[in-house]
Structure 1
């Protein structure tokens, strides 16, 4: 029998997240360059971001050709543009102090795939690179990461928006995120759930 999906949140009916989604409006223009392998990933947080912030632009691809239209669009913009990617040359959000009406570009994918997108699109290096001062480990405990400072794209966006404008209420982003995480955990057998650890503590 084919699985039924919610026409609003597009998640399976059994995992419908509509009850946890409250759309918000922001002044910042958020653009996500998403690796194609993430589009249909069950744990993809960009889907949640689009439900909470409908104005977010998502462009899928990897090569420079895939993002040629995005580059052409950005070339016409007068607003400051930042790429969220930690590196030796990146600066913290507090140091850059970007205006809340800036354009923020996030790269969605594993570290390896995000790096591939960056290397395939050298024009991104023309923009100031930002990094977040991560004080707490990610709550994205249903997806393993090799780096302790790894955040989901949703978490990074929420923290970034809060740092740029203290008046922005990012609670709806975290509410949708937590609902998705808890649903995924509740569906896991205990033996599998125990494998997902955060700072050496068993997920319960």
Structure 2
């Protein structure tokens, strides 16, 4: 089995496994025995997509993502925060706790190069500064001062977990809230939501990147999510992965475009 990916979410997952000495975490794979999964892409070996991983090189001035993850979220095979860290190498990830705050997270929020935004629906952010676009934080022309880089704080968990993180994290209370106004409905199919306006974490990250002007990264993450979803569901249905479907073709085309730019 391939080794685990070396990025923030995989390291958080490893730490969670080490800390859970009493084996109190929930069973995240149904059935007996536990399903064998690739340590890099979390899919079963027959549907492994490691050869399709599109790692984007860090770019000066690029917006970044920080995941604040609910307990056990990093362990879920269907978690899409992992996909963000796969694609964007400077993604940060921290586990959320009501009683303690990771020092690394506080240091990140205090770093003057970043302008943090808590990404959360504005209708649930009463009393907070809510913004819907980033024009004031992005350069208008070449002579404008270099602005702070957008840092998108994504609350990664179920809707109820995300609301708890939003309400019970004092260190987030004075940060602006970025409320997305997407025109399309969520296409994520691996977990059900009673609200069709809810988006999975990877979709939210892609929308944020597009808002920050990084269209290539946004499109790459969207295509990568589509490929992951298709292969995950194909594996559950015992159907071979279709490497020629639209998502795979889009991902390869974007990878080729990145190579031409390099």
Provide TM-score, normalisation by structure 1: 0.80
The equivalent of 2:133 in structure 1 is 93
The equivalent of 2:163 in structure 1 is 115
Shift of 1:5: 4.1
Structure 2 distance, partners of 1:30, 1:86, is 17
The equivalent of 1:193 in structure 2 is none
Structure 2 distance, partners of 1:9, 1:58, is 17
Whether 1:125 aligns to 2:165 is no
Flag structure 1 segments of 5+ consecutive residues without an equivalent: 191-204
Shift of 1:77: 2.7
CA 167–184 in structure 1, closer or farther in 2 if over 3 Å, else same: closer
Using CA pairs under 8 Å that are at least 6 residues apart, name the structure with larger relative contact order, 1 or 2. Answer: 1
1:183 to 231, 234, 242: 231
Shift of 1:76: 3.8
Deviations 1:101-127 (A, max 9, x none): 222211101111011112221221211
Shift of 1:167: 4.8
CA 2–169 in structure 1, closer or farther in 2 if over 3 Å, else same: closer
The equivalent of 2:49 in structure 1 is 17
Whether 1:134 aligns to 2:182 is yes
Shift of 1:166: 4.6
2:219 to 144, 154, 171: 171
Whether 1:162 aligns to 2:182 is no
The equivalent of 1:53 in structure 2 is 88
Contact kept, 8 Å, 1:83 with 1:106, in 2: the verdict is yes
Indicate the SS of the match to 1:161.
helix
1:147 to 177, 180, 195: 195
Provide TM-score, normalisation by structure 2: 0.64
Structure 1 distance, partners of 2:108, 2:97, is 17
RMSD: 2.6
Structure 2 distance, partners of 1:51, 1:76, is 23
Shift of 1:188: 4.1
Flag structure 2 segments of 5+ consecutive residues without an equivalent: 1-32, 139-146, 239-262
Indicate the SS of the match to 1:165.
coil
